[in-house]
Amino acid sequence: MRIAMISEHASPLAVLGEEDAGGQNTHVAELAAALVGEGHDVRVYTRRDSPSLPDTVATLDGYRVCHVPAGPALRVPKDELLPHMGEFGRWLAGQWRDGDWSPDVAHAHFWMSGLATLHAARRTGVPVVLTYHALGTVKRRHQGARDTSPPGRIGFERALGRAADRVIVQCQDEVGELVRLGVPRSRMALVPSGVNQEVFRPDGPVAPRDPARPRILTVGRMVERKGFLEVVRAMPAVPDAECVVVGGPPADLLPADPFARRLGALAESCGVADRVRLVGAVPREEMGRWYRSADILVAAPWYEPFGLTPLEGMACGVPVIGTRVGGIADTVVDGLTGDLVPPRDPRALGTAIRRLLADQVRRFAYATAALDRIRSRYSWKRCAEQLSAVYAAVSSVGRATPAVA
Ligand code: UDP
């Protein structure tokens, strides 16, 4: 099948860790590669955010990245991209109608991509599958007045859920959110993300560490809702351990980063500055080294649409402590493959870390059970197979020709 993936702000080629570059970029890159592995012809459409980008790039994984000229050719915060989605959609429609390649199905990632994709689909008849990745209702609930989403996001998300041929949900929590929003359950297919088990595996190189000091690792974009402040606040309850934070801007830009400075100041005031280390952005292919160097991975977001970092830690054989939110409540089985604690509760987090660090047998049991869970449920191949079935169900290519009597 010919599959178009639309990811307006999250390019599969981006450097990860910065404010708008994280799980969606990884998801799109891995999924595109896995769909190619299933024999599909895949193109990823993302915004041209630099004048030096070529029109299309052929990746080593066998899919093409097409750079769409919509909006300024420079990096713009994703919340400012809405006015350019009409232009994005018109460009897609033109390509699919008049160019030499048009998709059998279009899979939009994030609501703004959904708008551009529906715009193009209405003009070309291409069926649309949508993954939200994040929901405005959840963001509004947690961020309140600090939510920078464009006005109208929630209404657009509701309308998109009703207009798309299928909505891909990634966890049970998202099903509930969408039902409350008014998206019909019958439109939804639950297909969780996968994890690359070639990159994230228990054996392989390990980042240097002090063998005498237990290492707590936490990974993600440097935004408040990822819970790094709570991890630092938990550290006084865990004497002797070090806390390593991976993500944010590249290491040399950390001193100027406002959130990194805030974390540093908090570590000072908690008396743990000598035990908290910010590493900055790490290239994806080196992430496994960092996971493998840790005794425990902590994923402590306030909310999390899916959460790839717990899966990556689990795939590397590292026990996980996560907050009981979003996808983490599905991927981490409390007391079996890891521990779940309430979000925004440094005291509960500190207690859980201290207890797990003191119990080597439990850490080993969690890591073993987590690896089993990853291998049986969270491969990208499985994800691509399930999505192929969804694409086939909505596209004319996948519809069986009626038997002639
Ligand atoms: N990541 C990375 N380098 C970094 C920080 C993060 O490669 O310095 C990757 C991480 O391995 C994961 C993704 O970025 O694949 C973050 O995904 P997650 O779902 O945890 O969070 P999101 O960014 O989607 O909120």
Identical fold between 2-194+380-396 and 215-377: yes
Atom of ligand 1 nearest to the CA of 309: 20
Q: Which of 39, 66, 64 is nearest to 55 (CA)?
A: 66
Q: Is the shortest distance between the CB of 221 and ligand 1 below 6 Å?
A: yes
Find the 395 Cα to ligand 1 centroid distance in Å: 32
Query: Residue 260 pLDDT > 80, yes or no?
Result: yes
Class of domain 2-194+380-396: alpha beta
| CATH number of this structure's domain 215-377 | 3.40.50.2000
Q: In what order do the strands lie in the sheet with 215-219?
A: 276-280, 242-246, 215-219, 296-299, 320-323, 338-341
pTM, full prediction = 0.92
Atom of ligand 1 nearest to the CA of 27: 15
- What confidence score (pLDDT) does residue 270 get? 98
Confidence class for position 405, pLDDT limits 50, 70, 90: very low
Tallying the residues shown for the chain, one arrives at 405
**Average pLDDT rounded to a whole number, residues 373-380:** 96
Tally of CB atoms within 10 A around 193: 25
What would the pLDDT profile of 71-100 be if each residue is shown by its tens digit?
A: 999 999 999 999 999 999 999 999 999 999
Confidence class for position 22, pLDDT limits 50, 70, 90: confident
- What confidence score (pLDDT) does residue 129 get? 98
Mean pLDDT (the chain) is 95
Ligand 1 pocket test, pick from 7, 18, 219 with the greatest ligand atom count within 8 Å of Cβ, gives 219
**Average pLDDT rounded to a whole number, residues 103-122:** 98
Query: What letter does residue 147 receive in the DSSP assignment?
Result: -
Q: Is the shortest distance between the CB of 26 and ligand 1 below 6 Å?
A: yes
Confidence class for position 399, pLDDT limits 50, 70, 90: low
**Average pLDDT rounded to a whole number, residues 309-324:** 98
Ordered by start, the domain boundaries in the chain are 2-194+380-396, 215-377
Quote the percentage of the chain above a pLDDT of 90: 95
Q: Distances in Å between the alpha carbon of 133 and those of 37, 171, 304, 388, 399?
A: 23, 10, 9, 19, 28
Q: Is the shortest distance between the CB of 95 and ligand 1 below 6 Å?
A: no
Find the 21 Cα to ligand 1 centroid distance in Å: 8
Q: Is the shortest distance between the CB of 67 and ligand 1 below 6 Å?
A: no
Q: Distances in Å between the alpha carbon of 384 and those of 8, 127, 255, 374?
A: 21, 18, 40, 15
